[in-house]
Homo-oligomer: A and B are copies of this chain.
Amino acid sequence: MGDIFADRVVVGSEDRLAEMFGGDLGNEGIKFSAGNPNAQFFPVTEMKQAFNHAIEAYGNQMFEYQTVSGFSQLRRQLTTWAEQTAQISTTPANILLTQGGQQALDLIGKLLLNAGDEIVVEAPTYVGALSAFDQYDPRYYDVALEPDGLNLTQLEHLLQHHPGIKLLYTVPDFHNPTGVTMSLAKRKRLVTLAEKYDFLILEDTPYRDLRYKGKQLPAIKSFDRQGHVLFVSSFSKILMPGLRVGWVVADQAIIQRLRKLKTSSDLETPGLVLAALEQYMEHNDLKKHIAGMLPTYRSRLEAMLAVLDETMPAEVEYTRPEGGFFIWLTLPDAINVQKLLNETCIPEDKISFVPGKVFYAHKDQQNGIRLNFSGVSEEQIKLGITKLSNSLRQAIMLKKVKIAL
């Protein structure tokens, strides 16, 4: 067989998601590379009951073909959830249930992107979104992230020079990989820009309910007047990723078309899983479940910030998130993070992290590090980050010596 594969397979061949995970650390290793929620919090017993309830309540109907949009009772619950947690007023007909947030990103890419179409992403941005969009071969423009979110001056400049821009992708709450949250003022201003320059905003926010300090902000979608915002969230981080349930809120014209694309992609999400989730939410308090996880995650965030403050060399900058799973380190440009990971951190320090390069559409930035704090104990954080600080200090010193010579 010759070269039989479609062009998109070559485009996507770098396999951004697979690159995220470091080498073998052995049993003693400390993984700051993960992005998983803490499995010890999974409400396994309650979820088992929920599956049983769903089968008892809905019987063999649950195992039939159902609806593309997904179990309507769950969509109804999500309208309340959206109102209470994100200040979004919506209806079940404006919601599409998807196979995790990832399928929402893929379907939205499929809906909007011809090869060469122009989209804006944050620099850095979520690697899974790049992986989904890559399949449709768009033209990416980067906009820098500031401590309060996207640099909107830079964005507007870009929009003025590229009127064809269709879509902006943002993770406004406890951003993956940086932990940054977009300010209230920027959320409002971003919607105004979308109206002025006529593009869509894809607001992807799986972490928004995992806030450890400060006050919850309304979703960008809550300021949407003309249907410019597609809101995507998921149960993966607040409940369990293995359920593979995500959701989109958008105008009905968008939802209808996404529904058609989902029909062609996989017909529908397993109805029983959606019904079990509905039963879980009916018989349990999801907000209370989330509240129960926050103290652990908060302590770990604080522990990591404390040891970073204490041990990191002055040349290394890092973010101070108020929620989510990640802290982002920015190193002096001269340091090659991938080399450091492969040659020192994994083999000697027995620690892993995700090197920043994969989070850039153009893969042209080598000096970032994503650290996960949610999946490691405070003890591991102290030990591992101290080792990382020492290795970074040494690498920076060596560079300086080389430059001086």
Complex Cα gap A384–B314 (Å): 82
CB-nearest residue of chain B to A267: B102
Assess whether A160 is interfacial by the CB under 8 Å rule: no
Q: Is A263 an interface residue (CB 8 A)?
A: yes
A257 touches B5 (CB 8 A): yes
Q: Is the CB of A48 within 8 A of B44?
A: no
Task: Give the residue name and chain of the B residue nearest to A60 (CB).
Answer: B42
Query: Could you say which residues of chain B place their CB within 8 Å of the CB of A240?
Result: 63-64
Rounded to whole Å, the gap between the CB of A133 and the closest CB of chain B is 9
A244 touches B268 (CB 8 A): yes
Q: Which residues of B contact A347 (CB under 8 A)?
A: none
CA distance A263 to B139 in the complex (A): 21
B15 lies within 8 A of A260 (CB): yes
Contact among B8, B40, B117, B260 for A12, CB-based, below 8 A: B260
Which residues from chain B contact A267 at a C-beta distance below 8 Å?
17, 99-100, 102, 128, 244
Interface contact A266-B264, CB-CB below 8 Å: no
Segment from A104-112, A207-215, A353-361 that makes contact with B: A104-112
A7 at the interface (CB under 8 A from B): yes
Instruction: Give complex CA distance A110, B107 in Å.
Output: 13
User: How distant is the Cα of A12 from the Cα of B257 in the complex, in angstroms?
Assistant: 10
A51-59, A296-304, A329-337, A338-346 - the one binding chain B: A51-59
- Asked if A371 CB lies within 8 Å of chain B CBs, one says no
Query: A9-B257, A114-B6, A241-B65 are known contacts. Are A266 and B102 too (CB-CB below 8 A)?
Result: yes
Are A242's CB and B47's CB within 8 A? no
A62 contacts B by Cβ under 8 Å? yes
**Nearest B residue to A263, CB-CB:** B17
Say how far A191's CB is from chain B's closest CB, in angstroms: 14
Q: How far is the CB of A93 from chain B (nearest CB, A)?
A: 16
With a cutoff of 8 Å between Cβ atoms, the chain B residues found around residue A122 in the complex are none
B273 contacts A64, C-beta separation under 8 Å? no
How far does the alpha carbon of A80 sit from the alpha carbon of B112 in the complex, in Å? 42
State the main secondary structure of chain A at its contact with B.
helix
Contact A6 B63 (CB under 8 A): no
Beta-carbon contact of A103 and B265 below 8 Å: yes
Checking B15, B55, B114, B242 against A51 with a beta-carbon cut-off of 8 angstroms, the contacting residue is B55
Task: Provide the residues of chain B in CB contact with A110, threshold 8 Å.
Answer: 6, 8-9, 135
Contacts of A66 in B (CB 8 A): 242
Flag whether A89 is at the interface (Cβ < 8 A).
no
- The 8 Å CB contact of A100, one of B128, B244, B266, is B266
B113 to A6, Cβ gap below 8 A? yes
For chain A, residues 43 to 95, give those with C-beta under 8 angstroms from any C-beta of chain B.
Answer: 44, 47-48, 51-52, 55, 59-66
Q: Flag A111-142 by CB within 8 Å of B: 1 or 0 each.
A: 11110010000000000100110111000000
Interchain Cβ contacts under 8 Å between A and B, 5 examples: A17-B264, A44-B60, A48-B55, A98-B266, A99-B265
State the A residues within 8 Å of B (CB). 1-2, 4-9, 12-13, 15, 17-18, 36, 39-40, 42, 44, 47-48, 51-52, 55, 59-66, 98-100, 102-103, 106, 110-114, 117, 128, 131-132, 134-136, 166, 198, 200, 227-228, 240-244, 257, 260-261, 263-273
* New contact pairs (18) apart from A8-B110, A40-B60, CB-CB < 8 Å: A6-B112, A6-B113, A9-B111, A9-B257, A17-B264, A17-B267, A36-B65, A48-B52, A48-B55, A62-B242, A63-B241, A64-B241, A99-B265, A99-B267, A102-B264, A102-B267, A106-B264, A265-B265
* Top 7 closest pairs, chain A to chain B, by CB: A63-B240, A63-B242, A99-B266, A103-B266, A42-B60, A244-B270, A131-B264
